[in-house]
Amino acid sequence: MLDTLHSAASFIVAIGVLVAFHEFGHFWVARRFGIKVLKFSIGFGKPLWSRRGKDGVEYVLAMIPLGGYVKLLDEREADVVIAPEDLPRAFNRQPVAKRIAVFAAGPAFNFILAIAFYWVLYMVGVPGMKPVIGAPPAGSLAATAGLVGGDRIVALDDQKIPTWSVLRAELLDRALSRGDTAFLVAHANGREQTVNIDLGKARVDPVLLFEDLGLNPFEPPIPAVVGQVVAGEAADRAGLKIGDRIVDIDGKPVASFQDLRSQVSARPGQLAKFGIERAGSAQQISVIIGTDTSHGEAIGRVGLAPQRMATEGDLWQDLRAEVRLGPLAAASAALHQTWQVSALTVRLLYRMVVGDVSVKNVSGPIQIAQAAGYSASAGIGAFLTFVALVSVSIGVFNLLPIPMLDGGQILFGVIEAVKGSPLSERVQAAGQQLGMTLLLMLMGLAFYNDVTSVIG
């Protein structure tokens, strides 16, 4: 319950900031052009708070925190009474360039906000993990190229790779280009080697790309000593206890807790004999491995967690990394990061349309709220990174040439500028209906993905 409330609160804070900044972009540019603003609303539905400022603008905080809007003086609105002296300030009477600028300002402010957050993060220091890989599965592209567990990815095509987050973004970017990539790899003995991997052989879906590559973060071996037994799970039913050391499964040695997890995952629903050490004596316990299907395929699980150790933090110390830059370098990195995320979002949307990327990657408010909660729990840096990422996504989404969105209105404005007159009201109304239909379909897909993730 507390986790749910924490996620909801984090989501409301994040969306509130992003919506406010987006709508402030429309508001600020409209005011700079002398256009009269009637209402500035954060949220939809019933107003929770409302105040009319000295400037005549009604400021509103509404019940549903999933968006907002800025209402401008417009003669086309049937319910608006316009004084003759205000006619020059009506939005519909503005030159097309000004109207386009007002629509573009919202997404532009989302990009500006992302740049600002990334700039602060790079100056304070972005923590991460060094791109040291675990043992690639046999048959994966990394294993075929000769990479082994403990190798560190130093660079891709001369682009330095300091952390796993940078590696993921750069590999996804290159995978979308479907070409050979030169991996500069540092082996555990210090020797460096360059290997080429054809990313065209990997699926570009973000969920599947690293599976095809066989790249996963290296985990320091954790002793296979039971620290927690989940009540009602397979291990509990079989009689495993805290303090038991798992030695083997059906005679196959268990070298670490990660090895235990790997062996169990591959055997859903099977009967296995766990060789254990308990209080200095060897025993064998029969376990019927449980089955987890929440990830779309059957995976074995028994309900065990490892014993926490006083030195556990030290196991990861050598793998930690931090990217910290001066103000100018941080500004450059922030611009690059915002551009890269924007470009990746557009390319992934296109790949989703043509079927290369699963529509399961479309997230709704529930999954976004969960991500907001996780990032907030991880610290202010992780939360700001999350907000910056969502801010870029909102900016890109609103620039899509779909009527009802800023991008659709910009498209109408461009067509008007080219042809010298506005589109007919009938064409604009048909476009609005099409845009509404597309948005409802997209919202339905997002909510469907949310529901299936919750059920899973």
Structural domains in the chain plus CATH codes = 96-125+327-456 (no CATH), 141-218 (2.30.42.10), 226-309 (2.30.42.10)
pLDDT per residue as tens digits for the range 38-78? 999 998 888 889 999 888 899 999 888 778 889 999 888 76
Q: Give the per-residue pLDDT at 452.
A: 63
Taking CB atoms within 8 Å and a gap of at least 24, the contacts of 162-167 are 162/128, 162/130, 162/131, 162/321, 162/323, 163/126, 163/128, 163/129, 163/130, 163/131, 163/321, 163/323, 164/128, 164/129, 164/130, 164/131, 164/217, 165/126, 165/128, 166/128, 166/131, 166/323, 167/131, 167/215
At residue 181, φ and ψ (nearest 5 deg) are -130, 135
What CA–CA distance (Å, rounded) separates 206 from 369? 20
What CA–CA distance (Å, rounded) separates 298 from 300? 7
Q: Give the per-residue pLDDT at 39.
A: 92
Q: Which residue has the tokens 């404005």?
A: 413
* Residue 100 CB neighbour total at 10 angstroms: 20
Q: What is the DSSP letter of 222?
A: -
**Are 268 and 300 spatial neighbours (Cβ–Cβ below 8 Å)?**
yes
At what angle are helices 365-378 and 2-32 packed, to 10 degrees?
100
**Are 385 and 375 spatial neighbours (Cβ–Cβ below 8 Å)?**
yes
Nearest to 220 by CA among 322, 137, 312: 312
pLDDT per residue as tens digits for the range 345-385? 898 888 888 877 777 777 766 677 777 777 877 788 888 88
pTM of the model: 0.80
23 as an active site residue: the answer is yes
At what angle are helices 164-177 and 327-354 packed, to 10 degrees?
40
Amino acid at 296: G
Q: Give the per-residue pLDDT at 204.
A: 85
pLDDT above 90 coverage of the chain, percent: 43
Residues in the chain: 456
Element (H, E) at 194: strand 192-198
Q: Give the per-residue pLDDT at 456.
A: 47
What CA–CA distance (Å, rounded) separates 90 from 72? 7
What CA–CA distance (Å, rounded) separates 384 from 117? 6
What CA–CA distance (Å, rounded) separates 174 from 164? 15
Angstrom CA distances, 106 to 22, 74, 220, stand at: 4, 19, 46
The shares of helix, strand and coil residues in the chain, as percent rounded to the nearest 5, are 50, 20, 30
The ranges of the chain with pLDDT < 50 are: 310-313, 456
- Catalytic residue from among 23, 277, 416, 425: 23
Q: Which residue has the tokens 């610290």?
A: 379
What CA–CA distance (Å, rounded) separates 187 from 192? 6
Angstrom CA distances, 20 to 70, 110, 142, stand at: 10, 10, 45
Largest Cα separation within the chain, whole Å, is 94
